[in-house]
Structure 1
Amino acid sequence: MTTREPGGGVLTTIDLGEVGTDETAPPPAPLDIPRLRRVALAVLALVGAFALAGSAPADTTGVHQLWATPLRQGEAWSLSADTAYVTRSDKVSAYNLVTGELRWSVPARTALGGRKPQRVGDLLLVPADPVMISDEEDDGSRSYYETVHTTIALEAATGDERWRVDGATDATETESTTLVADDDEQARTVRLRLIRLADGAVLWSRSTPATVSWTPIRAGGRTVAFGTVTQDGLVDVYDYASGRLRHSMRLPGKSTKQRTNTLLSADGYLVVMRDQMLDTESLVYSAADFRLLWRTSGDAGYVTTCGHLLCSVGPTGIAGHDPLTGRTKWELAGVRDLWPAGPDRIMVSQDERAGGSFLLDPATGARIGAPVPGRVAYPQEAGEVPMFLRGVVDPPGRTAVIAIDPADGAQRMLGAVADVTNDDICRTTSGYLACVRDSTLDITAVG
């Protein structure tokens, strides 16, 4: 046990053993995009302009570091409202988020990879048996990514194992069941199963064509179907409850190795993103009858939900579209990335030259409040309002933590923490800031 003195105070640092970095921070975009590998959302750089005062307030604001622990490359972590979960190479541990006290630690009895554990209800879903996949591009370059062959369900409160199944899953809080995907050696899904989260029981299982992307389709707040797409453009839609094939179609135009097909689900619509070198288009289908409603032109990028509209997010800007017709309601040039920030609010980031982010009304595209300089600390749960981090002048070597009011975009400086760099990974949850930096996981109270 050691002591440190951030901001003049004495901090107790609890040595919890080697905890690993999580290189796959939660994606900022408000997308339910299982297996989306080509849409990578860049993190904003720290900027030198400050909208608020350049000095950090005293630590009486309640911003103070709680505990810290060493980290190890290739291991993963996630947060819930009161717990930090850590997966080491063959062990899963849970720590009190406030004190760092070890709540439980259990052997996984298999190898664990770099994917973060996922809290769903009273379960902790742990990806296991990682496999590294290498994919050669047409230009001869190679890309690498990790898939997993096993999912382990632990009791979140005790660590007791409830079930384990072959395959990978991405469950949600709103469902009592989840789809599990079995992949081949090229990371193509060849079988999908529906299991019950309570006990892991298989409700149905069916083989699929070699699928490069699949997504659940939701309507009325629940999953009603799921779609799959192959490399050569075959789209199949299945009933979620039974696994029965409901619809099959071939994408228009020729599909080759150079074109990557990715399925996205956007609030009652099925979107197919087709990426071919620098030319990316999206086709928007009705999830009710699978009619092609509209398509983006040029390099409009991907399409996702933004309020009651659909937004196209491309390299030159973001546009809001009527979901049924595709008619453009508003456009903003020079912005990129989009994620929800509470009811009827989205946040977007400006290009690297302009820097900063700002709040939008998705119905009109109108900016709300002043631009927010700094980088985003993404929330653990999609839809929560993110916090922002930016350097302060006095005292030097500190980073301010900024909260945003989604109603009017007002910015409030909560306090300051030790310096955060572009290489650090930070997430927030329920009044806490967790940052992976300098081979250390720091937990800070910011509420």
Structure 2
Amino acid sequence: MAAETFEGPTVIIDLGLARGEPDEYAAPTRSTVPDWFAPVLVAVLVLFGSTASAAPPPPALTPLLSLRVGPADPYTLTENGDLLAQSLGVLTSYDLRDGHLRWQAGSAMPTFRLRTGDGLILLRPFSGNARVDPGTTAVALDNGSVRWRRSGSVVTVAGSSTLLAVSNVRSFSGPGRRVQGSVEAVDPATGRTTWSVPVPSTAVLLSVPGPTESPWRMLLVHDDRTAAVHDLTTGAELARAQLPPADYGPDNPVLSGGLLLLRHPTLGGRMVSAFDPVTLQPRWVRPAGSAFGITTCGALACLAGPDGVRAIDPADGALRWYRPAWRSVEQRGGLVLASGTPGGENDPVGVIDPGTGEVVTGLDGWRPVPGAGGGDHLLVTRTASAGARTMVAVAAPDGAQPELLADLPPGTGDCQAVPARLVCRSTSGDLTVWAYQRKG
């Protein structure tokens, strides 16, 4: 692996505002300016230019770092502003603020995904043999030193610094969602087990909110439909209840709108039932329609299916708005995106106001860049000129359409974004980090 920072003159990437933008970005208009206005304007500009010189605006996209990795080598961006990449078993950390190398760890077994939690990088090598447990290695995020190794898959708990060791049941929902055997709390400093909860068969594992003094807890929904809430500090059981018969798939139940929502069949049709995540007491029941998923959309919960998206009030299950042409919504930081158009179910519609379902920023033809982006905006890309050109832009609720930044080099893809930084992979696998700057 080799890394190099860009030196020399500042690289200005041509914004290309006349080379393939959507029509709505450059709609021609008929001039109504009087004939005498142009010569006068030129004279004023010449006079102004002879007395003052304005500095050119900074480039919208500036390269900071180029990193040589393989096409399949994993990388990730952390909340603390680091780029982590692994190539040929060597793990490397770069500071996204200036592109400088922070540290390189010694040889480690290659992994297919880099996960972080509580100041650690959790490495779990891929094993082609389901009977072989490759274990988990914890590496310190600040210096790359190995903290501990232990068996099982170690996962993070949303909203908490707690680490849990689990034996996964393969599913499309990611590691740690469906578990078996037992759930063990892991001391981040030593890797030792601090408490254990048995799982007789298999169970769905969720993090759920608790009271102020204990913000997050663990919920296990067992195969016998028994749901149990556990304290994350001690593992003690705090509440238990029987839930209705359901498929209990990778995304059922879910936590949305501050409630535990479960899709389940009844004699009268499919329903959605809401439960208090602290006490597991039932709150309300409403028809689910043909919804195949439930997700958070702002302060509401959204039911998505082939017949559209319905936003419901988590307080009582009442319908707040309905969009029959949409197929899904997605919460991205402080923004909510809607998708699903006549052109295809995965086509973005735009950034929406989750309270009303109104589109505030259209994203027709654009694709969101994975990652955190900014709290009040996200990066989007679109191709033009028969795929020969890729534009990157900023989408935010204060604009009716994305704000063009620049063109990306040909062959650029596999991008991730964090505030003020964009990282993309080239066709050869190399990574480039850009600093981006919004206009105005």
Range class of TM-score, shorter chain = 0.7 to 0.9
Larger RCO (CA within 8 A; separation ≥ 6): 1
- Seen in structure 2, the aligned counterparts of structure 1 residues 369 and 262 have a Cα distance that, compared at 3 Å, is closer
8 Å Cα contact 2:301-2:314 kept in structure 1: yes
The CA deviation at 1:243 is 1.4
The runs of 5 or more residues in structure 2 that have no matched partner are 13-19, 28-55, 172-177
Equivalent runs, 1:274-285 vs 2, <5 Å: 282-285=272-275
Residue deviations 1:283-337, cap 9 Å, x none?
A: 4322132133225523212222222211112233221101132211101122233
Q: Distance in 1 between matches of 2:135 and 2:154?
A: 9
1:38 maps to what in 2? none
Of 321, 327, 332 in structure 2, the residue corresponding to residue 330 of structure 1 is 321
8 Å Cα contact 2:271-2:286 kept in structure 1: yes
Q: What SS class does the counterpart of residue 143 from structure 2 fall into?
A: coil
Q: Distance in 2 between matches of 1:373 and 1:228?
A: 41
Instruction: Tell me the TM-score normalized by structure 2.
Output: 0.72
Equivalent runs, 1:189-338 vs 2, <5 Å: 189-219=180-210, 223-231=215-223, 233-253=225-245, 262-273=252-263, 282-292=272-282, 293-338=284-329
Q: Distance in 1 between matches of 2:89 and 2:398?
A: 45
Q: Distance in 2 between matches of 1:335 and 1:268?
A: 24
Q: Distance in 2 between matches of 1:368 and 1:237?
A: 39
1:32 maps to what in 2? none
- Seen in structure 2, the aligned counterparts of structure 1 residues 285 and 265 have a Cα distance that, compared at 3 Å, is same
The question of 1:163 aligning with 2:148 is answered yes
The question of 1:150 aligning with 2:135 is answered yes
The CA deviation at 1:64 is 3.1
The question of 1:442 aligning with 2:432 is answered yes
Of 115, 118, 136 in structure 2, the residue corresponding to residue 117 of structure 1 is 115
- Seen in structure 2, the aligned counterparts of structure 1 residues 10 and 267 have a Cα distance that, compared at 3 Å, is closer
Equivalent runs, 1:101-116 vs 2, <5 Å: 101-107=100-106, 109=108, 111-116=109-114
8 Å Cα contact 1:272-1:282 kept in structure 2: yes
CA RMSD of aligned residues (A): 4.1
1:405 maps to what in 2? 396
2:76 maps to what in 1? 78
1:95 maps to what in 2? 94
The CA deviation at 1:147 is 11
8 Å Cα contact 2:114-2:121 kept in structure 1: no
1:433 maps to what in 2? 422
1:129 maps to what in 2? 125
- Seen in structure 2, the aligned counterparts of structure 1 residues 206 and 59 have a Cα distance that, compared at 3 Å, is same
- Seen in structure 2, the aligned counterparts of structure 1 residues 190 and 296 have a Cα distance that, compared at 3 Å, is farther
Q: Distance in 2 between matches of 1:413 and 1:185?
A: 41
8 Å Cα contact 1:216-1:227 kept in structure 2: yes
The question of 1:347 aligning with 2:337 is answered yes
Q: Distance in 1 between matches of 2:424 and 2:304?
A: 28
The CA deviation at 1:212 is 4.4
Amino acid corresponding to residue 85 of structure 1 in structure 2: L
8 Å Cα contact 1:193-1:205 kept in structure 2: yes
8 Å Cα contact 1:63-1:445 kept in structure 2: yes
Residue deviations 1:26-59, cap 9 Å, x none?
A: xxxxxxxxxxxxxxxxxxxxx99554249xxx99
Amino acid corresponding to residue 147 of structure 2 in structure 1: R
The runs of 5 or more residues in structure 1 that have no matched partner are 12-46, 135-145
8 Å Cα contact 1:281-1:300 kept in structure 2: no
Equivalent runs, 1:364-383 vs 2, <5 Å: 364-380=356-372
Q: Distance in 2 between matches of 1:220 and 1:328?
A: 27
- Seen in structure 2, the aligned counterparts of structure 1 residues 88 and 218 have a Cα distance that, compared at 3 Å, is farther
8 Å Cα contact 1:212-1:262 kept in structure 2: no
Amino acid corresponding to residue 284 of structure 1 in structure 2: A
Q: What SS class does the counterpart of residue 391 from structure 1 fall into?
A: strand
Larger Rg: 2
Residue deviations 1:373-398, cap 9 Å, x none?
A: 3111022479663211013459x833
Amino acid corresponding to residue 85 of structure 2 in structure 1: V
Instruction: Tell me the TM-score normalized by structure 1.
Output: 0.71
The CA deviation at 1:165 is 3.5
Q: Distance in 1 between matches of 2:394 and 2:312?
A: 29
Percent of aligned pairs with the same amino acid? 20
Amino acid corresponding to residue 121 of structure 2 in structure 1: L
- Seen in structure 2, the aligned counterparts of structure 1 residues 301 and 432 have a Cα distance that, compared at 3 Å, is same
8 Å Cα contact 2:180-2:203 kept in structure 1: yes
Of Structure 1 and Structure 2, the greater strand share is in 1
Amino acid corresponding to residue 154 of structure 1 in structure 2: V
1:358 maps to what in 2? 350
Amino acid corresponding to residue 163 of structure 1 in structure 2: W
- Seen in structure 2, the aligned counterparts of structure 1 residues 295 and 170 have a Cα distance that, compared at 3 Å, is farther
